[in-house]
A and B are shown apart, each in its own frame.
Chain A
Amino acid sequence: MSQPEAAAVPTWRARLRRVPWQQLTPLAGLVLLLIVGSLIHPAFLTSTNLFNVLTRAAFIGIIAVGGTFVIIGGGIDLSVGSMAAFLSGAMILLMNALHGGAISPLGVVLIGVGMVLGSGLLAGAANGLAITRGRIEPFIVTLGTLGIFRSLVTYLADGGTISLNFALRGVYRPVFYGAFLGIPIPVWAFAVVAVLGAILLHRTRFGRYVRAIGSNQEVARYAAIRVARVRTLTYVIQGLCVAIAVVLYVPRLGSASASTGILWELEAIAAVIIGGTALKGGSGHIWGTVVGAIMLSLIGNVLNLTTAISEYLNGTVQGLIIIGAVFMQRGRQGR
């Protein structure tokens, strides 16, 4: 067999052609925002500000990593913001109730964390099973649970705010405010979740199944993929990601109320789509989602750092950038 010459010794031209340019557009948007930010204010590029941005991106980013699985699998989850609020409220109430008993404050916090992770898995499973076993559209199921979780947290809070006992805050506070090797803990958690998510999505059989189901559910079924189980699992992953975000969120302000996590679901979906995942499912990347989440957080930060744009127009600028970012990807796909 004769080898084609180009394949044996790839020229720089061939190498360049192999770079997935269109997938890199989210990254280009990110770099552009960084440049704009550094021009707008000298303090923008300080490590404090950049870590502020990354720490904020961590909540939405971790949730969006789970959302990437759901959306690539052809589903959608609208309940994540309410779920986060409900889990936060339930966690604080549990920890307050356990405090002062025989368990040490550290033990109380660990039990709280365990409860949240377990409940996140269960809540995700409930969404997933209602969708697959109940044969109801994901939009409807998660719209329903959006309302359920939101009203449950309002009920738990008696319409007010649930606040963590101050004795427990001291123990739990470092989970948000602490740093390891100079990098805030939430940023580490975001990185770990993203890497694990990327391995699961791009390097395992499960990841391939998710993409197969998202691109064509019937064909996946004929290929003997257990569609219902895989789809349910994507919602379980989503639930777990919400729980991890909650574990990081609660120590920030030590409180939860009916206004916690409002519109997080839309921000998470936006992060996934800006990152290059198709809303109709089938294809996408975890790293794109990570970039998308950081971009959303950066936009808010840059707007807060300048008086050039009226505060009344924040939403307009955000909307234009989101649409522009997705247009750049889609525009290139057509060629």
Chain B
Amino acid sequence: MTRSFRTLAIVAALAFGVVFAQTYVIGVSIPAATHGWTGGVNWWAAQTKARLEAAYPNLQIVINTAGSPGEQADDIEDLIAINRIDALVILPFESDPLTEPVASVKDRGIFVTVVDRGLSRPGIEDVYVAGNNTVMGQVSAEYIIGRLGGEGKIVVLRGIPTAIDNERFDAFMELVAETNIEVLDSRYANWNRDDGFIVMQDFLTRFPEIDAVWAQDDDIALGVVEALRQAGRDKDLFVVGGAGMKEIIKGVMDGNELIPVNVLYPPAMIATAIEITALKFISDVPILGRYILDSPLITQENAADYYFPDSPF
């Protein structure tokens, strides 16, 4: 497909007598859209490709999605062999298995941008773009502590057992431990609505008194809300999710009392990474380094800035 497109582009160029100075190819390798957040990553990647290719005719962006770390390693090989990429933007499925494949890309002199999940060995990538899981946990904790006045009982629903989840959880617990807030229990809800619903049902059975719920993720938060409604306990407490799902942001904008705020962990970070990488080929500005995106607290006042109704997430 991309190959025939390239051929077509070259033929078209020759036909119009245009000589391209040079075409740069940026390969983008991301996980397939298996849940809401990665769905957002896919959407933002496609948006950015359309915008950059329209703005800069000498840029070509190839997006590959993979269902597993092994598949992603194969995709990288294909991007090099078939698409002959000049730069690679990769959101690694997992850090460890993809470290060596990406290192070998770098060894070929290809520009490497790593997104979200860092590689296991330092010094491979030219550019690193990521969200800040520690800050995300801290911002969530600060809001809950402030709202409860440093006192009360909360439950925590965790994601999938991963480094990302641990960073968020540890940062959250560290701040909460300094207060009189009691964490009744924490359980994994796997960043999944159904699991959020079930775990919350059981928390409600166990604990007659809950002042706040840290759900960490917007999908989990939606399941939690349904469980609260079912039990008729959706008053006198609040839920804090995270990531920036558009339905939740809309609710924050409209003054939803059950989920009053959100903490951003933007899937749009892939767009940031592709744009920065593109700068390498369209300008001479310095870009090398690490870009850590903030995880701001989204409230009714600033929610409009983070609301993207066209995104699937």
Contacts and interface: CB of A to CB of B under 8 A. Distances in A.
B230 A41 contact: no
Interface residues of A, number: 32
Given A300-B198, A301-B202, A160 B36 contact: yes
B194 interface: yes
B34 A258 contact: yes
Given A255-B193, A259-B35, A304-B187, 7 more contacts: A157-B39, A160-B311, A252-B197, A253-B222, A259-B192, A304-B199, A311-B187
B34 A154 contact: yes
Contacts of A44: 205
B312 A158 contact: yes
28 contacts: A41-B206, A44-B205, A52-B201, A52-B202, A154-B33, A157-B39, A157-B312, A158-B33, A158-B39, A159-B40, A160-B33, A160-B36, A160-B311, A160-B312, A160-B313, A161-B39, A161-B312, A163-B247, A253-B194, A253-B222, A257-B193, A258-B34, A259-B34, A259-B219, A301-B202, A304-B199, A304-B206, A305-B202
B202 A159 contact: no
B39 A253 contact: no
Scoring A52, A56, A161, A262 by chain B CB atoms within 10 A of each residue's CB, the highest score goes to A161
A46 interface: yes
Contact of A257 (B36, B186, B187, B199): B36
Contacts of B206: 41, 43, 304-305
A180 interface: no
A41 B36 CA distance: 35
Interface string B281-293: 0000000000000
Contacts, number: 93
Contacts of A262: 192
Interface in B141-200: 158, 161, 185-188, 191-194, 197-199
Nearest to B222: A253
B132 interface: no
A49 B227 CA distance: 12
Contacts of B194: 252-253, 260
Contacts of A43: 205-206
B223 interface: yes
Nearest to A176: B230
Nearest to B202: A304
A307 interface: yes
Contact of B223 (A52, A253, A305): A253
Interface of A: 41, 43-44, 46, 48-49, 52, 56, 154, 157-161, 163, 177, 252-253, 255, 257-260, 262, 300-301, 304-305, 307, 311-312, 314
Contacts of B300: none
Contact of B205 (A48, A255, A257): A48
Nearest to A59: B194
Interface string B196-228: 011101110110000000000001001100100
B64 to A, nearest CB: 14
Chain B contact patch, size range:
35 or more
Contacts of A157: 39, 312
Interface of B: 32-36, 38-40, 42-43, 158, 161, 185-188, 191-194, 197-199, 201-203, 205-206, 219, 222-223, 226, 230-231, 247, 311-313
Contacts of A253: 193-194, 197, 222-223, 226
A149 to B, nearest CB: 14
A48 B206 CA distance: 11
Given A253-B223, A311-B186, A56 B34 contact: no
Contact of A177 (B43, B191, B219, B230): B230
6 smallest beta-carbon distances between A and B, as pairs: A159-B33, A160-B312, A159-B39, A304-B202, A160-B39, A158-B312
Nearest to A260: B194
A52 B40 CA distance: 33
B5 to A, nearest CB: 22
Given A43-B206, A257-B36, A258-B35, A159 B43 contact: yes
Given A158-B43, A259-B34, A312 B161 contact: yes
Contacts of B201: 52
Nearest to B208: A43
Contacts of B42: 159
Contacts of A258: 33-35, 39
A76 B269 CA distance: 42
Contact of B35 (A49, A257, A300, A314): A257
Contacts of B43: 158-160
A258 B312 CA distance: 12
Contacts of A311: 158, 186-188
A295 to B, nearest CB: 16
